[in-house]
A and B are shown apart, each in its own frame.
Chain A
Amino acid sequence: MIWNESKECMPREDIIALQGARLKKQVDRVYHNVEYYRKKMQEVGLEPGDIQSIEDVEKLPFTTNEDLAKAYPLGLLAVPRSEIVRIHATSGTTGKPKIGAYTRRDIDIWSEGVARCLAMSGVTRDDIVIVSYGYGLFTGGLGAHYGAEKIGAMVIPVSTGNTTKLINMLIDFGATAIACTPSYLLHIAETLEKENLMDKVKLKCCICGAEPWTEEMRTQIEKRLNIKAFDIYGLTEMMGPGVASDCEYHAGLHVWEDHFLPEIIDPATGKHVPEGESGELVMTTLTKEGLPLIRYRTRDLTSLKYEKCECGRTMARIQRFKGRTDDMLITKGVNVFPTQVEAALLTIDGTTPHYMMIVDRVDNQDTLEVQLEVEERFFSDEIRGLEELAGKVRGALKTAIGLNAKVKLVEPDTLEHSQGKSKHVIDKRKLYE
């Protein structure tokens, strides 16, 4: 089902015209309302009048994570503070979380975006939707919730953390759709199988996101639960989930181009790559009022397809993600940078030890193991002392990244130490192949 046909199926030339008009207006707004953007534009000799259509977008400077950190928390606000009705935040990369600040209209547009994605997955007002993304600062829970309510579905806000309760709700209310991370959904499937409850489940589809997943996981989810599985993409900096999602043809993630302008650049030169080629995804919010972002570098590597999809939608499709331009990894739905792990290890005794993060997916559950070399200063001739060290590291990691990591003590010189910037991550999940 198509939620908003007049937008989702707009002819390409109309999309381009609409994007041009909205970009022009957005640039004008940020120039006059946000000192940070004004200065950045003035530094390269730009004035709002220089931006007339999307052809001109390449003239605009990029906005990077460093910009967001500098402007933290509300330095990029483009409306008076009193217009903001809600704040969301990422789990906090290298200390400074990324902020989403929403006006009432931003929340409406966000809900519209999610509603389009849910409708694309087949959700209607007759559906019963379990939202099992975390509710709170994380955009997943409330984002999916508002979208499902906008459609008029009955929402059960189960949130995360209690699989037994979720399964009770799933069965007792006869839920027909579920929104959660794909790895969690596989965990739910496993529990249902173990307890022989699968025939009591009435699910017909799932809307999964917040972490990269493989085609193999989709097949497993669809087969084991006998449902259709859909991928939803988003990022807090843009608004949250619902920036893009895939349709029944699974031919890429339709991005809501009337609200976001996607570009693909060569991360090294910053120049556009020829259409269809891979590069870094850059996005501009075209309608966001609270915290608009101009040419935000997502660090995600992918390509864009512009031709009309078999489903009838004309909105560009983000193709399979091929990796990241930085060393961020997503495990258990949480964004983790090696620098965060390093900072956590630094709290143990004030120096950076040699360590390696090993990310894997065992039985479709992400696992994170941190290996730490037992150098002389950590050494104890008592087992208890060594176990205390491992416990301390576990605690510091839990505080820093909010995840339970397995800590393994290893002998000195067993981890790879490269010259200069050493490689600290081994990702065995093969997500981008």
Chain B
Amino acid sequence: MFVKQLSIFLENRAGRLDDALKILKDNGINIISLSLADTSDFGLLRLLVSDPEKAKQVLKERRFSAQLADILAIRIPHTPGSLSGVLGSVTAAGINIEYMYTLSVGGGDANLALKTSDQERTAEIFKEQGIHTYSQEEFS
């Protein structure tokens, strides 16, 4: 139902993003999707990877602050209004979206990763509406 997202804390310093990505490359970890959120002082790199546990392990060994979190990854039709419809039913249930980004997987459909204030309930809503929710195995 959920997929493991790897988050990495990055200081706003030249080369840090590259350093992190190199560690993943050297350990044969494939990046399925990537999103970078930033403030004036730091950045937060959010990744879906082929082997999240191993990725976290190798990053920690190299003294990066990294963490795994359960998030929802969904596939919706690539048509006008489909995202709005999906999110509408989530917000109607009084659930907040903490963050969201698009996934670079899948063919003609739109794919999204999101974390909400009530993940279990959000997953149920998606299930009720027949929205495909990715499992970790689909990425490994």
Residues of A in contact with B (beta carbons under 8 Å apart): 374-376, 378-384, 386-387, 408-414
Can you identify 7 A-B contacts, CB atoms within 8 angstroms?
Answer: A375-B65, A376-B65, A376-B67, A382-B98, A386-B9, A410-B42, A412-B63
Asked if residues B7 and A411 are in contact (CB atoms below 8 Å), the reply is: no
Does B41 have its Cβ within 8 Å of any Cβ on chain A? yes
Does B21 have its Cβ within 8 Å of any Cβ on chain A? no
Does B48 have its Cβ within 8 Å of any Cβ on chain A? no
User: Given A386-B9, A386-B44, A411-B9, are A379 and B65 also a contact pair (CB < 8 Å)?
Assistant: yes
Pick the contact of B7: A378, A381, A409, A412 (CB < 8 A).
A381
Pick the contact of A408: B41, B65, B67 (CB < 8 A).
B41
Pick the contact of B42: A375, A386, A413 (CB < 8 A).
A386
Interface residues of B, dominant DSSP = strand
Asked if residues B9 and A382 are in contact (CB atoms below 8 Å), the reply is: no
Asked if residues A381 and B46 are in contact (CB atoms below 8 Å), the reply is: yes
How far does the Cβ of B21 sit from chain A's closest Cβ, in whole Å? 15
Asked if residues A379 and B63 are in contact (CB atoms below 8 Å), the reply is: no
Does B37 have its Cβ within 8 Å of any Cβ on chain A? yes
B-side interface size class: 20 to 34
Which residue of A has the minimal Cβ distance to B19? A411
User: Given A374-B9, A379-B9, A386-B9, are A409 and B69 also a contact pair (CB < 8 Å)?
Assistant: no
Asked if residues B42 and A409 are in contact (CB atoms below 8 Å), the reply is: yes
Does B51 have its Cβ within 8 Å of any Cβ on chain A? no
How far does the Cβ of A367 sit from chain B's closest Cβ, in whole Å? 15
Which residue of A has the minimal Cβ distance to B64? A411
In the complex, what residues of A have CB within 8 A of residue B66's CB?
376, 379
User: Given A375-B65, A379-B67, are A387 and B9 also a contact pair (CB < 8 Å)?
Assistant: no
Which residue of B has the minimal Cβ distance to A412? B63
Pick the contact of A414: B5, B11, B98 (CB < 8 A).
B11
- 10 further interface pairs, Cβ-Cβ under 8 Å (given A380-B67, A411-B9): A374-B42, A375-B65, A379-B7, A381-B67, A383-B37, A383-B39, A383-B99, A386-B42, A410-B42, A411-B11
Does B75 have its Cβ within 8 Å of any Cβ on chain A? no
How far, in whole Å, are A408 and B69 apart by their CA atoms in the complex?
A: 24
In the complex, what residues of B have CB within 8 A of residue A375's CB?
65
How far does the Cβ of B31 sit from chain A's closest Cβ, in whole Å? 16
Which residue of B has the minimal Cβ distance to A387? B39
User: Given A381-B69, A386-B42, are A413 and B63 also a contact pair (CB < 8 Å)?
Assistant: yes
Asked if residues A412 and B11 are in contact (CB atoms below 8 Å), the reply is: no
Within 8 A of A (CB), among B49-76: 60, 63-67, 69
User: Given A381-B46, A387-B39, are A412 and B99 also a contact pair (CB < 8 Å)?
Assistant: no
How far, in whole Å, are A414 and B10 apart by their CA atoms in the complex?
A: 11
How far does the Cβ of A375 sit from chain B's closest Cβ, in whole Å? 7
In the complex, what residues of B have CB within 8 A of residue A383's CB?
37, 39, 44, 99
Within 8 A of A (CB), among B72-89: none
User: Given A381-B46, A381-B115, A386-B42, are A411 and B98 also a contact pair (CB < 8 Å)?
Assistant: no
How far, in whole Å, are A414 and B16 apart by their CA atoms in the complex?
A: 12
Pick the contact of A411: B10, B37, B46, B99 (CB < 8 A).
B10
Counting chain A CB atoms within 10 Å of each CB, the highest count among B7, B11, B46, B64 belongs to B11
Which residue of B has the minimal Cβ distance to A411? B11
